[in-house]
Structure 1
């Protein structure tokens, strides 16, 4: 084992200073996607919140989920979704990642994060919740269920995709989205933002076939001998 390694036991982790432990634990899962959740309450108050926990849950039906922390303080995003049963997920790109990060500040319910950070709400008839106009990937969702995670009192919010906006030029022939070409950001820990570098696409893995590199349209590269 590398002599530079440090070992932490469960007891060590529990005894860490709170902010140190939170930062360390949030880094363990590696790079995470950066997204803004757009919601509105029944009185028309808009809310925008950055999250790093959006995950793909299925393609048929098209489901996405994200994690909400315990409601020990006011969680406007969670309250709004419970009221309207609609929300949007908006990808964060390099152009406005600092503004996106600022939405993590605890603004009052009647204060719109859109206005405070300088992003633009965009509405269409398919969804009551606001999209982020500046986002290259905008997803409108209908709430399907909230799964309570008893281990730590968090909640997984599950939504079904109702509307999708993204640049046509970013979609390849096989449905692959050129994420890197949209300058999307990733997050490590709580506050470290990253750009990405693609190493290339690979063929579908099968026991009896070798993996081959693919081009961006999902077609195999032919290598001449």
Structure 2
């Protein structure tokens, strides 16, 4: 088994190091976050850091790298207060990944990919058309991570759209039916297959 000490990791070549550390945490969620500026320019970008914060109220968070360069997603959320989270599925992985390219704020990623935006119930920010799970979010607060100057953005769910065939009787969303992707590292995409559910666990008697 390969072993890397803290000192070894620090000495690694840059690209090798970020690939190694980004992939060692395991599979991550694959989402497109949709925003729109105050001047109505749409933006969509891939994120692998969306995480569940709580169910009541229903809240998600996601992490942003340091804002030492322009982060269009972050700027739009702070300016408008609204954004969407859209699950990436197998047929759009290539276009979804291209949204990681650094376009300026005047360019919409919807215009340089085959991804299409759509609007629902007069919500301000665009959803990704065809995404099997689409979530309307409202910004709540942010936390600065001092150790590496990243930002945790926290929002609450104010609208949730799910393809009918994915919802099981107890509310569980079976993402494998929609071929929803997961991200390994920075650029590896996998399509997980649902195997088993084990239910709520209690201590053995």
TM-score range, shorter chain: over 0.9
How far did residue 24 of structure 1 move? 0.4
Q: 1:180 aligns with which of 176, 196, 200?
A: 176
Q: Which residue of 2 aligns with 1:41?
A: 37
List gaps (5 residues or longer) in structure 1. Answer: 210-225
Cα offset, 1:7, TM superposition: 1.9
* Conserved? CA contact 2:174–2:194, under 8 Å: no
Answering whether residue 195 of structure 2 is matched by residue 196 of structure 1, we say no
Greater Rg, structure 1 or structure 2? 1
For residue 50 of structure 1, the aligned residue among 43, 46, 64 is 46
Match of residue 19, structure 1, among 15, 33, 44: 15
Q: How far does residue 126 in structure 1 lie from its aligned partner after superposition?
A: 4.5
Note the aligned Cα RMSD (angstroms). Answer: 1.0
Distance in 2 (CA, whole Å) between partners of 1:126 and 1:152 is: 37
TM-score, normalized by length of structure 1? 0.89
How do 1:106-121 and structure 2 match up within 5 A?
106-121=102-117
Is contact 1:48–1:114 with CA below 8 Å preserved after alignment?
Answer: yes
How far has the Cα of 1:118 moved from its partner? Answer: 1.4
Cα distance, 1:10 vs structure 2: 1.3
- Aligned residues between the structures: 205
Q: Distance in 2 between matches of 1:10 and 1:203?
A: 38
Alignment equivalent of 2:86, drawn from 81, 84, 90: 90
Spell out structure 1 runs of 4+ moving beyond 2 A.
124-127
Give TM-score, length-normalised by structure 2.
Answer: 0.97
State the shift of 1:145 in Å.
0.4
- The counterpart of 1:143, out of the listed 139, 143, 155, is 139
The SS at the match of 1:78 is: helix
State the 1:6 CA deviation: 2.2
Larger RCO (CA within 8 A; separation ≥ 6): 2
Pick one of 67, 89, 96 that aligns with 1:100.
96
Runs of at least 5 residues in structure 2 that lack an aligned partner in the other structure:
none
